[in-house]
Amino acid sequence: MGKSGRKNFLIAVICLSLVFLWREGRELWPALVTEIRTVSSDGGQETETGDKVKGTIALTFDDGPHPVYTPWLLEGLRERGVHVTFFLIGQNIDGNEDIIRQMKEEGHLIGNHSQNHMQLTKEQVKAACEQINVTNEKIREITGETPEYVRPPYGSWSEELECMVPMKVVLWNLDTLDWKTQNKDRIVKYIVSHVEDGSVILLHDVYDTSVEAALEVIDTLQAEGYNFVTVDEMLID
């Protein structure tokens, strides 16, 4: 084969290679685009629709379970695909075991909020620990798991209690005062105007106004691109 023939042969090989790569690329490109869309240009997460996640927040509910309002809340959460964190009062568990089983089965995080909603730092250490341990045992008997997280009533905790009860303390950074106002619109307005990435929002599932507000807040903030998680997921992040 002469020099001219070798040159024509190499050109033909290059052309065939380009055609092959073009055909393969057409098949691989959609998948590649899909992968790229999962991360925004600045590294942020995106929703399934391609919208950037605006922030991650946790809804938390104290003082339950309530025999009427908590099931109503659970139904609304299930419809919206949202998981939250419940901090339970031990004395409210009795007779509401099925509600707690539902919480567990539907993927919500269950924590401890003491037995009688006492301010633990004003009690003797032994009595305060008993408040936590009794409620832990009640939850364990129902769910098969001992809670890892505790929210002390009034946010009152001490290093002494931490040594006696080895649990992770979860407080909050956005207090709705829903127990005080019991006004759905005011609760919604307060949350929506103050929420930010990393907000741990304090609510109570023992008021109908709080449940209504929570579901409306979820609808509003999901539309804005917020992602709802349980507090353990937020702590991991």
The rounded average pLDDT for each run of 10 residues, N- to C-terminus, in the chain (237 residues) is: 51 46 40 30 44 86 98 98 98 98 98 95 92 96 97 92 88 97 98 97 98 98 97 80
Cα torsion at 173, 174, 177, 183 (round to 10°)?
Answer: -170
**pLDDT at res. 176:** 98
**pLDDT at res. 71:** 98
**pLDDT at res. 162:** 83
**pLDDT at res. 48:** 45
Strands 174-175 and 168-169, by their bridges, are unpaired
| Residues acting as catalytic residues | 62, 204
- The rounded distance, in Å, linking the Cα atoms of 2 and 173 is 81
Other Cβ atoms less than 10 A from the Cβ of 177: the count is 12
**pLDDT at res. 1:** 53
**pLDDT at res. 152:** 96
Alpha carbons within 13 angstroms on the beta-carbon side of residue 222 total: 16
Other Cβ atoms less than 10 A from the Cβ of 51: the count is 12
- What is the maximal distance between C-alpha atoms in the chain? 101
Integer angstrom CA distances of residue 35 from 25, 30, 39, 54: 15, 9, 8, 20
Answer yes or no: pTM beyond 0.75.
yes
**pLDDT at res. 235:** 77
